[in-house]
Structure 1
Amino acid sequence: MILASGGLETAVGLEFVKWRPPVGGFYKINTDATLVEGKTVVGVGAVIRNHLGQVMASTAQRLEVSISTKLAEAMAILRGIVFTVDSGLVPTVIESNALSVVSLINSGSPNLTELGLVCGDIAKHIQDGVITAVGFIPRKAKVVAHTLAKMALSIDQDRFWM
């Protein structure tokens, strides 16, 4: 990672994708989920940073389930919310690379599918003011969360760092 004014930049080939810090007084959590094709395991990663870009907390969690990629990404967001609340690092903005999940959360439309119910739980945290926004970010701008999700596939118990 290269520290640059205005945020962290991640070099990806010849392309730079910039992570932007939240406004002062807020935290930002990046989440990701990783699945292994044909296996019943999902890795979830989350990293919480302050307005200076400093890592305040992170987690790698392993879920023993067989679910879709979209549902895994929604579960990663929900796990990230629970982690940030338990850590006391609120109010928080969340970013995910799952555009369709982020769109469903922000739509406010009732949806009784498994994915819709998880997104509804996430939306409730927004209504409660714990989470101020859920936004999209390209995976290349949240390498730490992706790395934690991949790491979670090989651990036997959830890990939390403060």
Structure 2
Amino acid sequence: MHNLASRRVVPGGICPICQTAEETIEHAILLCPWTRAVWFGSKFQWTINPNGLTSFDRWLLKGVNLIKSCSTDLETDLAVLSCIVWNVWKKHCKAIYQSVNPNPWMVIFIINSNQLEWNQSLHSNNQELREEIRTIPDREGWTPPPEGFIKINVDASWLSGNPFCSIGCVARDSNANVLLSSCRKVLAPTPLIAETLAIREGALIGHNLGWNNISIESDCKVAVDAYDAGKQMGEIRVLIQDIKDLQQRFQSCRVKWIARCKNQVSHLIAQLGLKNLLPPGWLWNLPKPIQKALIEDGRGIPPRF
């Protein structure tokens, strides 16, 4: 609109959405009130400061450098940044040419869905290799913790469009005795938040039951890496701090990444819980997929959870 106005194609260059400022590329993508809400509500939680903002390309380069300095998953975070810019511009054009007022919270939801599709696309590139690994009959499965420790395997199941995720947890001792299992649903707007909530759930279980030495295992490498590195990832920053605060209440509390093949039981509990396929009394009458996962762990099936 700014360029069209400068060429006198349109009568003025005021933003047709907020009608309070000149519609430059910087205003359209960064400074319009609804776009500020999108940037702050994104995983980066950025507050756009108009002071010193000279051009969009310089701002974008600064943002890329900031992500490079603190990201634990650079490729994904750069893809999310591109996705935010694209969706903001797309909704801006739709507002102008189709008279559809942009909803920042709907845009954030679309961005989170795009991020999930991106992650699934990345994972599918190695699907054939993972399938080959799964067919190896003597692959290493779940391993018991050292004597005196309780191992808590955790996982989360998340589905785009569903505000709730399902968290599955299984606690076992060094003799492979199942001490506790649980499944519950919690609010989680993104899969990364869901996986981090699952790790915190494991720490809460250990603390509430008075266990002194625990080992929490998750198959979400991004969340575990963020915990290990102590990096300030916007959307899970508070959760990571909660986990670290809980860690201080144990004699020993370890958080470790493991492959999905070593985390099958909690993974299945989370999946079945999200689909409402865990019947009443499932703790005493295990669904067959969970029985199979326990057998594949090489630890047999306990009489009950």
* TM-score in terms of structure 1 length: 0.80
**C-alpha distance 132-40 of structure 1, shift in aligned 2 (>3 A):** same
Task: Check whether the contact 2:154–2:168 (CA below 8 A) recurs between aligned residues.
Answer: yes
Which position in structure 2 is the counterpart of 1:72? 194
User: Counting helix residues as a fraction of each chain, which structure ranks higher?
Assistant: 2
Give matches, 1:127-138, under 5 Å: 127-129=248-250, 131-138=252-259
Give the number of equivalent residue pairs.
Answer: 149
Is residue 124 from structure 1 mapped to residue 245 from structure 2 by the alignment? yes
Q: Which moved more, 1:12-21 or 1:69-78?
A: 12-21
**C-alpha distance 160-28 of structure 1, shift in aligned 2 (>3 A):** farther
Q: Could you tell me which amino acid in structure 2 is paired with residue 59 of structure 1? A: S
Cα distance in 2 for partners of 1:104, 1:130 equals 22
Counterpart of 1:88 in 2: which secondary structure? coil
What is the Cα deviation at residue 108 of structure 1?
A: 2.7
Structure 2 gaps, min length 5 = 1-132, 284-304
Counterpart of 1:17 in 2: which secondary structure? coil
What is the Cα deviation at residue 86 of structure 1?
A: 1.9
Q: Could you tell me which amino acid in structure 1 is paired with residue 202 of structure 2? A: G
Which position in structure 2 is the counterpart of 1:45? 168
What is the Cα deviation at residue 39 of structure 1?
A: 1.6
Give matches, 1:58-69, under 5 Å: 58-63=181-186, 65-69=187-191
Q: Could you tell me which amino acid in structure 2 is paired with residue 139 of structure 1? A: R
Cα distance in 2 for partners of 1:70, 1:14 equals 29
Runs (4+) of structure 1 moved beyond 6 Å?
none
Cα distance in 2 for partners of 1:58, 1:160 equals 10
User: Counting strand residues as a fraction of each chain, which structure ranks higher?
Assistant: 1
**C-alpha distance 89-152 of structure 1, shift in aligned 2 (>3 A):** farther
Q: Could you tell me which amino acid in structure 1 is paired with residue 266 of structure 2? A: A
Larger radius of gyration: 2
Which position in structure 2 is the counterpart of 1:90? 212
Task: Check whether the contact 2:156–2:194 (CA below 8 A) recurs between aligned residues.
Answer: yes
Which position in structure 2 is the counterpart of 1:57? 180
Identity of aligned residues (%): 26
1:103 aligns with one of 222, 225, 238 = 225
Counterpart of 1:39 in 2: which secondary structure? coil
What is the Cα deviation at residue 127 of structure 1?
A: 2.8
Structure 1 gaps, min length 5 = 1-10
